[in-house]
Amino acid sequence: MRERVFIAVIGGARCSSQVCRLAEEVGAELAKRGAVLVCGGLGGVMEAACRGAKKMGGTTVGILPGGDGKAANPYVDIPIVTRLGYARNALVVQSAQAVIAVDGSYGTLSEIAFALQYGIPVVGLDTWSVAINGQSDQSIFAVGSPQEAVERAMAAAMARQEEEV
């Protein structure tokens, strides 16, 4: 029953029209491929990605930081009410098999860090890059388009599922 792939889309709660467009396309591409979109449930990149997914008939999950389910953006099908503040960022990435970061705030950076810590693949579109002690860390897979982001994330999620079998 549950062969569906869950992919998290992370990014800031506000976005420029250009970033919003990227996020919306990411959501649409995920829905076209049958993936469930997991996100933080709020505005900006999260809302744009959910809107894209719903346009293509996809399913969207929003893991909210606060205590009010109605704070979810209108394109969230399944709002999860955590009251955990930003600690909920851990739940967003843990509940996915791969993560797509689009642009992003410090919250996005914490989600990238959590994903890398748990070994969940991260694909990045115009997002954070990090270096430790001056040495660049290449774990965030940089891509150039929403299509490429989704293809990469889906492939990484599948590879991970097979590994586990």
Of residues 57 through 96, those in contact with a second copy by CB under 8 A are 59, 61, 63, 67, 69-70, 72, 74-91, 94-95
Residue 52 binds to a second copy (criterion: CB under 8 A): no
- Smallest separation (angstroms) from a second copy to the CB of 64: 9
State residue 9 phi and psi, 5-degree precision. Answer: -115, 120
Residue 47 binds to a second copy (criterion: CB under 8 A): no
- Smallest separation (angstroms) from a second copy to the CB of 36: 7
How far from 87 is each of 26, 49, 64, CA to CA, in Å? 25, 21, 10
Size of the site for a second copy (CB under 8 A): 55
What is the Cα–Cα distance from 100 to 108, expressed in whole angstroms?
10
What is the Cα–Cα distance from 41 to 86, expressed in whole angstroms?
12
- The set of residues, in sequence order, having a beta carbon less than 8 Å from that of 147 and lying 6+ positions away, is 25, 29
Nearer to a second copy, 110 or 150 (CB): 110
Residue 15 binds to a second copy (criterion: CB under 8 A): no
What is the Cα–Cα distance from 48 to 127, expressed in whole angstroms?
16
Position among 44, 107, 121, 146 found at the interface with a second copy (CB under 8 A): 107
Residue 147 binds to a second copy (criterion: CB under 8 A): no
State residue 93 phi and psi, 5-degree precision. Answer: -80, -35
Q: Select from 20-28, 39-47, 103-111, 151-159 the region that touches a second copy (CB under 8 A).
A: 103-111
What is the Cα–Cα distance from 23 to 162, expressed in whole angstroms?
28
- Smallest separation (angstroms) from a second copy to the CB of 53: 12
What is the Cα–Cα distance from 147 to 108, expressed in whole angstroms?
20
For a second copy, the binding residues (CB under 8 A) are 1-2, 6, 36, 54, 59, 61, 63, 67, 69-70, 72, 74-91, 94-95, 103-107, 109-110, 112-114, 116-118, 126-134, 164
